[in-house]
Amino acid sequence: MNPLVSGVAPGPLLGVNIDHIATLRNARGGSFPDPVHAAQVAVDGGADIITFHLREDRRHIRDADVQRIKADIRVPLNFESAVTDEMLGIIERIRPQMVCLVPERRQEITTEGGLDVAGQLERVRNACARLGAIGCRVSLFIEASPVQIEASARAGAPCVELHTGAYANACEAGDDALAQAELRRLHAGIEVARGLGLQTNAGHGLTLASTPQIAAMGQVSELHIGHALVGHALFVGMAQSVRDFKAVIARAAAPALTARP
């Protein structure tokens, strides 16, 4: 049974981001591979949540995908979007269980930094109120910065998703010292969030190799992983890729779980 239903999770839940199935589908302008079918296979493989980022430029996930995901997928949906009236209007029509508000810049290759909540507090607060009013659990995709975490609490968000991109990139580059420094920064952010009563999730750039140290932190509730999981799926299949990520998460989280009072 899905731990979101049973309430019993062996460590962080896994949100599978299906954006890059749509990247491959859009490469030829056709309908294959179908991101919604991939989402179902991911759920069959054990995905706890399906995450997708409807970008303003629709470079991967498209509006029709969102409609079909909502109709066909039976696990909680985590709708990632920019803080714009267009996107909030779409979310109000789709009514996903979860929304993650992220920064967007057309020129970016991928999400670069975290959302600047402190610099636009009223705008984010209004978005949180609008989404909370329709029952969405709102998370804010931010850097592990005390200023941004405290602003997220002031904005009324119950949850933050800490951007793990700098840590993941350091792992990719084999820079252990930087990776450890980023882990310390993330851990400090988790402590600040916990002190403010915020749920902490994490994501961006995580791979099979870099996921364990995030999963082992003990206070991370959800990991949202896409690019590397989809890449791994090209070689082992989507269901097995999900099982592989779930296995490394459970293995890494076990000591923290047994250490809990």
Ligand X SMILES: CC(=O)[C@@H](O)[C@H](O)COP(=O)(O)O
Ligand Y SMILES: NCC(=O)COP(=O)(O)O
Q: Does the protein bind ligand X through residue 53 (CB under 6 A)?
A: yes
CA torsion angle for 203, 207, 212, 217 (degrees, to 10)? Answer: -20
The verdict on whether residue 232 carries a ligand-binding annotation is no
According to CB under 6 A, which one of 39, 47, 102, 131 is a site residue for ligand X?
102
The verdict on whether residue 60 carries a ligand-binding annotation is yes
The interface partner of residue 206, options being ligand Y, ligand X, none and the CB cut-off 5 to 8 Å by kind, is ligand Y
Whole-number Å distance between alpha carbons of 101 and 161? 9
Looking only at residues 188 through 217 of this chain, which bind ligand Y when binding is defined by CB under 6 A? 203-206
Q: Does the protein bind ligand X through residue 81 (CB under 6 A)?
A: no
The verdict on whether residue 205 carries a ligand-binding annotation is yes
224 noted as active-site residue:
no
- The distance of closest approach from Cβ of residue 96 to ligand X in the complex, given in angstroms and rounded to an integer, is 14
The verdict on whether residue 93 carries a ligand-binding annotation is no
Q: Does the protein bind ligand Y through residue 225 (CB under 6 A)?
A: yes
Pair 80, 54: CB distance under 8 Å: yes
Peptide bond preceding 10 in cis form (omega within 30 of 0): no
User: Which one, 27 or 177, has the nearer CB to ligand X?
Assistant: 27
Phi, psi of 91 (to 5 degrees): -60, -40
Pair 225, 15: CB distance under 8 Å: yes
The verdict on whether residue 17 carries a ligand-binding annotation is yes
Question: Quick one: which of 214, 236, 231 has its CA closest to 223?
Answer: 214
The interface partner of residue 25, options being ligand Y, ligand X, none and the CB cut-off 5 to 8 Å by kind, is none
Question: Quick one: which of 177, 237, 249 has its CA closest to 33?
Answer: 237
According to CB under 6 A, which one of 9, 12, 19, 99 is a site residue for ligand X?
19
- The distance of closest approach from Cβ of residue 222 to ligand Y in the complex, given in angstroms and rounded to an integer, is 10
User: Which one, 53 or 246, has the nearer CB to ligand X?
Assistant: 53
Question: Which amino acid is residue 81, in one-letter code?
Answer: S
Q: 67-105 burial string, b = 16+ CB within 10 Å, else e? A: eebeeebebbbbbbbbbeeebbebbeebebebbbbbbbe
Q: Does the protein bind ligand Y through residue 114 (CB under 6 A)?
A: no
- Binding site for 3-amino-2-oxopropyl phosphate, by residue number, is 17, 28, 205, 226-227
Residues in contact with ligand Y by CB under 6 A are 17, 51, 161, 203-206, 224-228
Residues in contact with ligand X by CB under 6 A are 17, 19, 53, 55, 60, 80, 102, 110-111, 141, 203-204, 226-227
Which positions are catalytic? 53, 80, 204
